[in-house]
Chain A
């Protein structure tokens, strides 16, 4: 216990040790997070009228970001599977970063849901015995369970492995291997359940579609690894932790396959909607080509398709064996998937409305600031976790340091 407190104290000390660049980076992120918090406080006082949402489009940028990020969190599994199931040694050196990313991203998800609530101070209404948890009826209650469960699983696995490394002992397999395998299934469940949030709504034909969960997973397994590849390179550059090219190219392969599946499913969707268009294709019509003179989402979805296509072309050609081109592919895929899942999936579910009204949606500035704030806070958390995890991983931070210079 005492050892553990010393560990926490050292981690805390380490959090504030770093180069001026580290300080500058963390300061900028803190400031943007605070600006976001300020925008949220404004929203809490004035109500959700400060957002672009309406009675017709009752979910917007918050839920869009939430949906996208659940996928990014689930994609940590794409490091875990090669490492633990296929026993790829080179993935073991990076798998922890995937778990840390999942932690940061799940916290972002929970924040995005919280800022979307009209009465966030009543969140305990969901927690028995203070509240009533509508389980198993409401898919949202399933989502609460799977998201928090995933957060706990990753906190446990990452925390336990790091602490063992710090103490310089071999982790006891029974303490973490079962959880690792559970987390694999759990990762799939978080994104599937999140898809079911939408698929379960029979009144919204754009969402009431069995392809949605598969596409969710496929696109998540593009966006998540893309972010991971970029992160690995940052780690390689700014720290002395060694990450070889192998994990990056394993992820490249995963991204490529996932993107091919995603684009194939997109094709299936487009065929179904447009070969013989019915009333149910109205939302797709609005999204891709505009409807009755309203075309607010058309530029978004075509940019997404262009970015994803470019990303796919880069990925399937030898070009992306060069890191610089691979990075470009990661950026285009990440932005493309974000657009496709956010503006392309959530908003058209509401346009046209069930009564055929077309009310367009654009986030307001205040709404955008809240989103930036949460993204920034997520980055802040992830940067901090990497900052303390890496010295533990590479053995610099130990329970019993072997440093003769240390003055006691």
Chain B
């Protein structure tokens, strides 16, 4: 830009500002405004493709899960179920399953037994109503199975995308990692809107009608346990698991964070998590930490148990142990 005689702040320019607006100026201004508005509309045109009801007043006015009255929650779940039916063709049995008194869930994983078959990771996708169209969709599974060299515990040397003809490989061992439901959970601490919290039974949950999708919790998690819905889940009608709960495995909208809840819709009703049920080697042990007679309590008392990344102070409710 160079010096120019028609300086922006020349007295002539300023003079015009004091003058009443002339007809010509007014018309010119009006034309320019029209052009501007047209440009704005053109820029926002993609918004027309939004599905009906994707952003609704009801959603915007909805309160946080923990502030909802039971009848409001019921109404919201009704509308979520109706929406799922409309969009995916199958009406889920959507419930709200509350934590049980005197229960704190814990999970232990037997590294001696795990063979790295990844059945748990796939069962997790099915149970939690996630997309399973292409190979990339496995990234949404709450469970990542790490392949490690025997004699090494450095996660940085691990491989998630291992693909040998058969497992287990002789020189490797396998370590599935999922949400550790930490007692000192960094993810819930950092959430700016308290969309994620620890329940009474220790499970860390997300209210996906409240999450704003900032992904700060994902940055905070030392176990890479959280997943973000970069796209809207795509599931065929037959693939939908209709047994759903509000805080766990309902079909999520895009733009929110989700995570492992130890299948609370199952476990709070006395069933095992889907990953445990599918495990062919019995490497997984699940139960109530507060019950001294539970299998998990036995493991914690009698096996050589450790937690992952003890140094970051998260105090997980997920344990690893060796059998022999």
What residues of chain A have their CB less than 8 Å away from a CB belonging to chain B?
Answer: 10, 13-14, 16-22, 30-31, 34-35, 37-38, 41-42, 44-49, 51, 53-56, 58-59, 113, 116-126, 131-134, 137-141, 144, 197-198, 200-204, 234, 237-241, 279, 282, 349-350, 352-357, 387, 390-391, 394, 396-397, 401, 403, 405-407
Q: Is B155 an interface residue (CB 8 A)?
A: yes
| Inter-subunit contact B14/A202 (CB<8 Å) | no
Q: Is B214 an interface residue (CB 8 A)?
A: yes
Q: A49-B230, A394-B9 are in contact. Are A203 and B309 (CB under 8 A)?
A: yes
Give the residue of B15, B64, B193, B313 whose beta carbon is less than 8 angstroms from that of A403.
B15
Give 10 nearest A-B pairs by CB, closest first: A118-B213, A118-B255, A203-B222, A47-B254, A356-B156, A356-B155, A140-B192, A41-B46, A49-B230, A49-B231
Residue of B nearest to A386 (CB): B8
Residues from chain A with a CB closer than 8 A to the CB of B290 are none
Contact with A along B40-74 (1 / 0, CB 8 A): 10111111011000010000100010000000000
Residues of chain B from 148 to 184 with CB closer than 8 A to chain A in the complex: 154-158, 160, 177
Q: A54-B139, A122-B210, A239-B8 are in contact. Are A10 and B43 (CB under 8 A)?
A: no
Residue of A nearest to B158 (CB): A356
| Inter-subunit contact B43/A37 (CB<8 Å) | yes
The interface stretch among B17-25, B95-103, B108-116 is: B17-25
Q: A18-B8, A141-B192, A279-B156 are in contact. Are A118 and B46 (CB under 8 A)?
A: no
| Inter-subunit contact A237/B192 (CB<8 Å) | no
Residues from chain A with a CB closer than 8 A to the CB of B47 are 41, 44-45
- 20 A–B contacts, CB within 8 A, in A order: A44-B46, A55-B140, A113-B214, A118-B213, A118-B255, A126-B192, A138-B192, A201-B186, A201-B190, A203-B223, A238-B1, A282-B156, A350-B219, A354-B221, A354-B309, A355-B155, A355-B224, A391-B13, A403-B15, A403-B18
**Number of A-B residue pairs having CB atoms within 8 Å of each other in the complex:** 243
| Inter-subunit contact B224/A117 (CB<8 Å) | no
Q: Is B2 an interface residue (CB 8 A)?
A: yes
Q: Is B4 an interface residue (CB 8 A)?
A: yes
| Inter-subunit contact A22/B8 (CB<8 Å) | yes
| Inter-subunit contact A121/B60 (CB<8 Å) | yes
Give the residue of B19, B212, B218 whose beta carbon is less than 8 angstroms from that of A406.
B19
Contact with A along B202-215 (1 / 0, CB 8 A): 00000000111111
Q: How far is the CB of B111 from chain A (nearest CB, A)?
A: 15
| Inter-subunit contact A13/B192 (CB<8 Å) | no
Residue of B nearest to A234 (CB): B1
Q: Is B265 an interface residue (CB 8 A)?
A: no
Residues from chain B with a CB closer than 8 A to the CB of A113 are 214
| Inter-subunit contact A134/B193 (CB<8 Å) | yes
| Inter-subunit contact B55/A121 (CB<8 Å) | yes
Give the residue of B45, B55, B157, B230 whose beta carbon is less than 8 angstroms from that of A41.
B45
- The number of chain B residues with a CB under 8 A from chain A is 81
| Inter-subunit contact B154/A356 (CB<8 Å) | yes
Residues from chain A with a CB closer than 8 A to the CB of B154 are 279, 356
20 A-B pairs besides A137-B190, A198-B219 with CB distance below 8 A are: A17-B17, A22-B8, A30-B36, A30-B39, A37-B43, A41-B45, A44-B50, A45-B46, A55-B139, A119-B211, A125-B212, A126-B192, A140-B190, A200-B190, A202-B222, A203-B221, A234-B1, A239-B8, A240-B9, A352-B156
| Inter-subunit contact B231/A46 (CB<8 Å) | yes
Residue of A nearest to B140 (CB): A55
Residues from chain B with a CB closer than 8 A to the CB of A117 are 212-214, 255
Q: Is B281 an interface residue (CB 8 A)?
A: no
Q: How far is the CB of B2 from chain A (nearest CB, A)?
A: 7
How far is A315 from B196 in the complex, measured between Cα atoms in Å?
Answer: 49
| Inter-subunit contact B17/A13 (CB<8 Å) | yes
| Inter-subunit contact B230/A53 (CB<8 Å) | yes
| Inter-subunit contact A116/B1 (CB<8 Å) | no
Q: Is B194 an interface residue (CB 8 A)?
A: yes
Residues from chain B with a CB closer than 8 A to the CB of A240 are 7, 9
| Inter-subunit contact B213/A119 (CB<8 Å) | yes
Residues from chain A with a CB closer than 8 A to the CB of B293 are none
| Inter-subunit contact A201/B229 (CB<8 Å) | no
| Inter-subunit contact B36/A48 (CB<8 Å) | no
Q: Is B272 an interface residue (CB 8 A)?
A: no
Chain A CB within 10 A, most for which of B64, B220, B256: B220
